[in-house]
Amino acid sequence: MNQDRRIKNEKPVRSPDPPKLSIVIASNHSVVELERCLASLVQQNRDQEIEVIVADCGCQYEAMRDVKGKYPELLFIRFPEKTPLPKLWGAGIERSTGEIIAITDSTCITDANWVSAILDAHMSSHPVIGGAVEIGDCKKWVDWAAYFCEYGQFMLPLKQGAATELPGNNVSFKRETLKRGGEFVQDGFWKTYWCRRLQEEGVQLVAVPSIVVYYKKSFGLIPFLIRRFHHGRCFAGMRVSQVSLLTRVFYISGSPLLPFLFLTRTIAGVVPKRRYLKQFILSFPISVLAVVLWSIGEFCGYLAGTGKSGAQIN
């Protein structure tokens, strides 16, 4: 981790015994969101062996000073503005000491039983466990589209057991798992590629529907579409860095099919659950735009690499 990019670290006095669970929260938006997220964890923190680490780059200094005063038992790590989300998570993971590590971000509110559900799930031998992502209060169609595109497949009801993907804002893992896929942990925590590397090595991802967060992030239309482009390009750029030239050509040639593939996946992840169908239909035109922008970004990533898109992951 590049230490000279940090502005300031505040470390509270800790027990000599390592906690059972470390919770890493990436905060790159408003202090209101962060306080809302922390408030959902406070009651759960009182009787549990856990530590909470906040890696922040979005809140003003004065506002963060007030938050630190309210929560002196937490560890806060301050980063420059617009630090990418994987860098924030990576910093928090690096500073964590718990046997189990859970990651989320400040746009989420955790369920009242989130901590106990994670600890119960990790009594099993499964090393990587994810949960459900429900939508919080939502008033704009772009926010519905963002939820369906990014987290619709993780909406309840969620099938318990083996999973091919887990949500980045509601995933936990045993510390020993970090010994694998180090290239996706050392310079930031790139959840998607880290999980894929573990799967290649025979590790089974597991979904547990009782582990729930509520997603409350809000977007403007243009920023949301730009975000989708950058996420698509970053995904593809990192993907082709691991493959042969022939495979890269194959990905490029198949790019025109991506919008149809993604729309099919989105529909298949939402419609069978029979929830929010009205909102899904009315926000669908925005979802189509989002899928097209992701696909264009993915094509650019296959063609020319990540470019500057890796710095735009937020």
Residue 47 pLDDT: 55
Residue 81 pLDDT: 85
Q: Report d(CA 95, CA 82) in Å as an integer.
A: 20
Q: How many CA atoms does the CB half-sphere of 32 hold within 13 Å?
A: 3
DSSP string, 167-179: -TTSEEEEGGGGG
Q: Is the pTM of this model over 0.75?
A: yes
Q: How do residues 114-173 score in pLDDT, each as one tens digit? A: 999 999 999 999 999 999 999 988 889 999 999 999 999 999 999 999 999 999 999 999
Is the backbone peptide bond immediately before 84 cis, with ω within 30 degrees of 0?
Answer: no
Paired tokens of 275: 């929830």
**Regarding beta strands 75-78 and 8-10, do their DSSP bridges make them parallel or antiparallel, or are they unpaired?**
antiparallel
Q: How do residues 256-278 score in pLDDT, each as one tens digit? A: 999 999 999 999 999 999 999 99
Helix (H, G, I), strand (E, B) or coil at 265: helix
Q: What is the mean pLDDT of residues 178-198?
A: 89
The closest alpha carbon to 171, from 20, 24, 18, belongs to: 24
Confidence check: pLDDT of 10 > 90: no
Residue 241 pLDDT: 82
Which of 19-33, 202-216, 236-250 ranks highest by mean pLDDT? 202-216
The closest alpha carbon to 80, from 160, 172, 2, belongs to: 2
Residue 50 pLDDT: 87
Alpha helices in 256-276 (DSSP H): 258-270
Domains for the chain: give ranges and CATH numbers: 3-138+154-215 (3.90.550.10), 221-312 (no CATH)
Residue 26 pLDDT: 94
Q: Which of 5-14, 203-212, 246-255 has the lowest mean pLDDT?
A: 5-14
